[in-house]
């Protein structure tokens, strides 16, 4: 199975087991869209920004001496976007609706990021 197919399968499972998740996007740390669990073109439009936000977040933690990166969650009046490092080469952005259970989003986002990292190691 191709990496893109494995990544998309994990992203679909994330949406299916987490009711508040409305989709997700996986991209490379270079900003190229790998897979998108959305009907629209958000993956192509947000890949570079997702990669940049991950790099910025990691750098901020280093400068502030706050340890290793876990996640960045952006909150807006229409929901959330959570970003996870999925190993050294993939960024996972998870979209959730307003009123989402952020604890569940964090738990499931991390679990999916770990699965994506494992898939990337196989390829």
CA–CA dist 91, 73 (Å, integer)? 13
- SS3 call for 101: coil
Instruction: Look at residue 114 and tell me whether its pLDDT is greater than 90.
Output: yes
Task: Tell me the per-residue pLDDT of 2-51, one tens digit each, with 9 for 90 and over.
Answer: 999 999 999 999 999 999 999 999 999 999 999 999 988 888 889 999 99
**Which of 88, 91, 76, 95 has the alpha carbon at shortest distance from 20?**
95
Domain architecture of the chain: domains with CATH = 3-122 (3.30.450.30)
Q: What is the pLDDT of residue 44?
A: 86
The angle formed by the CA atoms of residues 112, 33 and 46, to the nearest 5 degrees, is 90
- The 8-class DSSP code of residue 2 comes to -
Instruction: Look at residue 1 and tell me whether its pLDDT is greater than 90.
Output: no
């Amino acid at each position: 199975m191709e990496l893109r197919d494995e990544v998309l399968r994990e992203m679909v499972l994330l949406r299916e087991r987490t009711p508040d998740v409305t989709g997700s996007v996986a991209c490379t740390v270079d900003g190229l869209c790998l897979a998108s669990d959305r009907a629209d073109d958000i993956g192509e439009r947000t890949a570079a920004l997702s990669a940049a936000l991950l790099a910025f977040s990691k750098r901020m933690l280093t400068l502030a001496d706050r340890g290793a990166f876990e996640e960045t969650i952006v909150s807006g009046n229409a929901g959330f976007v959570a970003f996870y490092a999925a190993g050294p080469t993939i960024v996972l952005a998870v979209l959730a609706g307003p009123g989402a259970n952020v604890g569940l989003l964090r738990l499931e986002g991390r679990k999916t990021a770990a699965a994506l990292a494992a898939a990337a190691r196989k390829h």
